[in-house]
Amino acid sequence: MDTGFDLLEEFRVPESRGVRKVDGSNPEATAYRINPSIHLRKTTSDVYPDGLPSDYSIIATFKVTKDNAKKSWNLWQISNPEGQDQVGLRFHGDTKSLDFFYTGLQGTQMLRTFHRMEKLFDGEWHKLALSVKGSRVKLLIDCAEVSVESIEQQRPVIHQGYTSIAKRAAGDRSVSVELQQMEVSCDPEQAYSEGCCELSSLCGGYAEIGLTAGRASCKCLHGQPGIQGPAGTKGHRGLPGQPGDAGRLGNWIDDSQAKLILQGIRGNTGDYGNVGESGPKGEEGIKGEKGMRGLRGQVGAKGEKGFEGIPGYQGVKGEKGESGNVGRVGPQGQQGIQGPKGRSGTTGQKGIIGDPGIPGRDGDPGIEAYQGPQGPSGRIGRVGAKGEKGTLGPVGEMGPQGQTGPRGYKGSAGKPGRPGFIGPPGPTGHIGVPGKPGPKVMVTQGSRESKVSQVQRLETKVNMDLREDRESAAQQAYLDAQVLLELKEFGVKEDQMAFRGLQDPG
């Protein structure tokens, strides 16, 4: 199991687009400014192959930019596959505080808040170290312990979900922050083993920093000698010196003696000299840069019994135990972290009509627009309410001739027509059978006068009918024929009928 994870390397921050290399906490340190456009998130199993243990340390060297001095953002966070927070560190620029949130064994989200963290928002380089061990979480700022909070001792090992760094508290965008170091260690004591020598702002240069009675001590060191500078230009010729003292009187020698004196006789090899004394102890060198991860070593010999291991996976649910005694009411817990956004509420009641607003200013002249392409056909609208009766429109043009309609029903009987004209005489009929002898009737003078009066009344009726309808000649002829027949029955002579203007049509 790996003991430490360099998140800048895991997320390939130096190679990511949208990341700019900047000066770090000292002239030899390198940092990276995160651009909000990049997405620093990976699967948790890819970052921590064996999962995040329940005890660990978080070490980060960073600088908060002015843009985020009043925002809420997560320095480090792990969420489950559904996107819910599991564990992380959240900065609140408005309250100048730091939240550590985590999830207990029962899935309950817990929160511990560190207040009065104004120092972290001053725009300078700072080192944050968080130790999570057992039932305590300890916060160190610039190698000085500033706060200790109690937490649940039982915490699950996180295997699934996503790990992200430098993210906004709301949304999925990154924040503009400068990171120089971002590590997670499986050793909870690593937070106390880290030094702060890279923070030049503490001593004004290189420094060794350690904890002494809970407070940081700073011992400034001299740097290594610099590179030799270039040779200077040739100086001017100096002034003549003072005359020297007179030399001693020498002895005269010949050439052979002079040669022996110059060459000399080779002597024998001398004995080894004594070992010299140890020189003074040199000054301690500066801390070197962190080297690359070495190759995997060979399997070593069996070591001594190790420390107690991290808690294992959650076991199978046991049988239901006996009911315990009712516990005392615990103290009121701290405010929980902000929950997910709730669903939209129902529509409220209609409010009262407000006062009329002040007239708005005249709008700017619009730019000339061009007709866009015709949009897609809309859906058929609902049938509207029946409109009011419109005014009578103008007479339309005559339409085309319609098709022949179906045969109508039989009409009712019409009024009788006028009598037709008298047709031509028909052929002579057959001689009829002689009739039976009729009874003898005695016609007296009085009866004859009564018959004549009846004929007169009949004539008067005929004349009135003829005056009413003189256009019907056929009807007049028919009536004349009827009158003649009746007169003949009463025995009126033809001269008397002629006197009255009646003639036999035969």
Q: Which of 159-163, 192-196, 231-235, 381-385 has the lowest mean pLDDT?
A: 231-235
Beta bridge partners of 69: none
Average pLDDT (38-56) is 92
The alpha-carbon radius of gyration of the chain (Å, integer) is 67
Answer positive or negative: Cα dihedral of 82, 85, 87, 88. positive
Average pLDDT (7-27) is 90
- CB hemisphere CA count around 481 (13 angstroms): 9
Whether residue 441 is predicted with pLDDT greater than 60 in this model: the reply is no
| pLDDT one-digit tens code per residue, 265-274 | 566 666 656 6
Encoding tokens for residue 504?
A: 């036999």
Amino acid at 69: A
What pLDDT sits at residue 118? Answer: 92
Query: Residue 464, Cα to own-chain centre: how many angstroms?
Result: 108
Whether residue 210 is predicted with pLDDT greater than 50 in this model: the reply is no
Dihedral angle computed from the Cα positions of residues 482, 483, 484 and 485, in that order, rounded to the nearest 10 degrees: 50
Whether residue 310 is predicted with pLDDT greater than 80 in this model: the reply is no
Encoding tokens for residue 413?
A: 């009987």
The whole-angstrom separation of Cα 33 and Cα 180 is 9
Contact in structure between 216 and 202 (CB atoms under 8 Å): yes
The whole-angstrom separation of Cα 34 and Cα 178 is 6
> What does the buried/exposed string (b/e) look like for 342-365 if buried means 16 or more CB atoms within 10 Å of the residue's CB?
eeeeeeeeeeeeeeeeeeeeeeee
Contact in structure between 217 and 210 (CB atoms under 8 Å): yes
The whole-angstrom separation of Cα 78 and Cα 52 is 10
Find the helix or strand (DSSP H, E) in which 445 lies: helix 445-468
First to last CA, the chain: 152
The whole-angstrom separation of Cα 101 and Cα 43 is 20
Amino acid at 37: S
At residue 499 the predicted structure's pLDDT band, cuts being 50, 70 and 90, is: very low
Residue with more model confidence, 206 or 389: 389
The whole-angstrom separation of Cα 309 and Cα 405 is 103
What mean pLDDT is reported for the chain? 75
Residue with more model confidence, 152 or 258: 152
What pLDDT sits at residue 137? Answer: 95
What pLDDT sits at residue 10? Answer: 93
Whether residue 444 is predicted with pLDDT greater than 50 in this model: the reply is no
Whether residue 178 is predicted with pLDDT greater than 80 in this model: the reply is yes
What pLDDT sits at residue 318? Answer: 65
Residue 224 CB partners (closer than 8 Å, separation 6+): 285, 286
Q: Are strands 85-92 and 4-6 parallel, antiparallel or unpaired?
A: unpaired
3-state secondary structure of 91: strand
